[in-house]
Structure 1
Amino acid sequence: MTQDTGLFIYGIVPSDVEPTLDAEGVGSPPGEVSAVRHGELAALVSEVELAEPLGRPDDLTAYERLLDGTAAVAPVLPVRFGTVVTGEDAVADLLDAHHDRFAAALDEFEGRVQYTVHGRFDEQAFIGELLAADRNAAALAEQVRGRPEGQSRDQRIRLGEMISQAVELRRESENRELIDAVGGYAVTDAARAPSHEMDAAHVAFLVADEDEEEFVRAVEEFAERRRELIRMRLIGPLAPYDFAGAHQLVG
């Protein structure tokens, strides 16, 4: 390693974890992934050029692919994307200085993975439901129907605000109902910020291996009851990204 390169850290794992021979890291071309060990801990790393900008979609994909693949076979504490240190000595110092915190995280994540449930309202179905239930919204919709935008600007703004408020209220309700419906099969959960104005639900769950089948079944049943209004996606198993903050160096 030269002064022009550093080590990109993906995550912390038990010291007996070995990256697979075909594991690919960030960068172009992809870096070779290795483990830097210190005591009972190890860090998954790859060498990167310090002058090379990181953050391309391919880099994030490589970061997540490596961590998700690791989480399927061993506990892993994700390190914030983009963390680069000067070399193996710096990695060892990091593992030594934060040993207890990292070890606690690995104990917490042993035999557990993250699933993320993401739902998005069908916009037309949601608006139709709102107009059927709210006379004021229906009246505004009637006022703007067929009129040029310039002549109905104020009404369109008010209607848009009503729709936005209705989505927010319904989102809060859907998140609560989702957690009530499937949270019993999860160790813990974390509501996520919406990624789209029509998001209906967005919650991460930490799920024990032995409960995965029941958790997935419960999510599928929840989604089926809402299929006319909400398009639901179950994403996972993943590394425990949403539950690593309490243990990470950078929150």
Structure 2
Amino acid sequence: MSEERGLFIYGIVPSDVEPTPDASGVGDPPGEVTVVRHGRVAALVSEVPLETALGRPADLTAYQELLDGTAAVAPVLPVRFGTVVTGPDAVADLLDAHGDRFASALDELEGHVQYVVHGRYEESALIQSVLDDNTAAADLADQVRGQPEETTREQRIRLGEIISQAVELRREAENRDLLDTLGPLATSALARPPSNELDAVNAAFLVEADREDDFVDALEEFAEQRRGLIHMRLLGPLAPYDFVSAHQLAG
């Protein structure tokens, strides 16, 4: 009995896009990436067994690498990871039903890529900065320093609360500063939720290709002003994952 197979959909692209010969998809072994076209738009797909669960780190990596590589040369609407349909006819029906909306969104994304700016506080520098700015916190730190935890439990809890509140306020301020600084150099920008309690900034930006250098230069200056306090990372160029939610499909 042959294994039932379906099509994993990676993203929606203009109909003239061709996958590179070495493009590989999800699964083990990786599926060959092909295109299903309908009018002005097309879908990047690969065959997968319908009974096989997809979700290995290697699968997510393959999904992201294909979309990010595509975004470097053509606009792409990422489809939610794990979206599988029964075959080419189901893909064609999807493209037929939403083709105009997809085409309009692709036109808007032409010449754009996404960047993610993520910054995390250096913990010791952050705590020292909070103590320098907050007399109550500094007093509590003096009270617990060198003392047994069991006898200073209440002070330690209160100190932790003060530091946590300070980090939250600073995070809000840093994200505002980041968006104010880089937002004018991007077509669109949005704050992302923190991924860690020590996160200082986390935001996504949709940037035109001809403004990438200015964007990176402005970020470097922003990071330099916070050197020693915040470790900054720039991720990209990426597919516009954060800017196509209205066009993503249910699995």
Bin for the TM-score computed over the shorter chain: over 0.9
Give yes or no for contact 2:8–2:46 (8 Å, CA) kept in 1. yes
User: Mapping of 1:27-176 within 5 angstroms?
Assistant: 27-176=27-176
Q: Are the aligned partners of 2:68 and 2:239 in contact in 1 as well (CA < 8 Å)?
A: yes
Q: Is the 8 A contact 2:140 2:159 kept in 1?
A: yes
SS in 2 for 1:176: helix
Counterpart AA for 1:110: E
Is 1:200 equivalent to 2:200 in the alignment?
A: yes
Instruction: Work out whether 1:245 is the aligned partner of 2:245.
Output: yes
- Once the two structures are TM-superposed, the CA of residue 3 in structure 1 deviates from its matched residue by 6.2
Q: CA deviation at 1:116?
A: 0.5
Distance 1:105 1:191 in 2: 21
Structure 1 stretch displaced more, 50-59 or 16-25: 50-59
Q: Deviations over 1:99-119 (max 9, x none)?
A: 122112101110000000000
Q: Does the Cα contact within 8 Å between 2:10 and 2:43 map onto a contact in 1? A: yes
**Counterpart in the other structure of 1:18:** 18
**SS of the counterpart of 2:163?**
helix
**Separation in structure 2 between the aligned mates of residue 36 and residue 149 of structure 1, nearest angstrom:** 64
CA offsets per residue over residues 9-37 of structure 1, 9 Å max, x none?
00000010000010011111111100011
Structure 1-normalised TM-score? Answer: 0.96
For these two proteins, the number of residue pairs brought into alignment is 250
- Of residues 203-212 and 241-250 in structure 1, the stretch that sits farther from structure 2 once superposed is 241-250
Residue 98 of structure 1 aligns to a residue in which SS?
A: helix
- Note the residue ranges of structure 2 that are not aligned, 5 or more in a row: none
Tell whether the 8 Å contact from 2:39 to 2:99 is kept in structure 1 after alignment: no
Deviation string 1:203-226 (CA, Å, 9 cap, x unpaired) is 100000111111111111111111
Cross-structure match for 1:186:
186
Give the Å deviation of 1:148.
2.3
Counterpart AA for 2:135: R
For the residues of structure 2 that align with 1:139 and 1:86, how far apart are their CA atoms? 65
**Is the contact made by 2:117 and 2:202 (CA closer than 8 Å) also made in structure 1?**
yes
SS in 2 for 1:28: coil
Q: 2 CA distance for matches of 1:193 and 1:10?
A: 24
SS in 1 for 2:246: coil
Distance in 1 separating the partners of 2:29 and 2:151: 56
After superposition, what is the alpha-carbon deviation per residue over 1:130-188, rounded to whole angstroms, capped at 9, x for unaligned? 11111111111122212222222222221111111111110111111111111111001
Question: How far did residue 89 of structure 1 move?
Answer: 0.4
Q: Which amino acid aligns with 1:213?
A: D
Query: Residue 220 of structure 1 aligns to a residue in which SS?
Result: helix
Question: What RMSD in Å do the two structures reach over aligned CA positions?
Answer: 1.3
How many Å separate the matches in 2 of 1:14 and 1:88? 17
Q: State percent identity of aligned pairs.
A: 70
SS in 1 for 2:203: strand
Q: Deviations over 1:44-103 (max 9, x none)?
A: 001111222111111111100000000000000000011010100000000011112211
Q: Distance in 1 between matches of 2:187 and 2:214?
A: 13
**Aligned counterparts of 1:105 and 1:141: Cα–Cα separation in 2:** 54
Distance 1:64 1:23 in 2: 12
The answer to whether the 8 Å contact 2:83/2:249 transfers is no
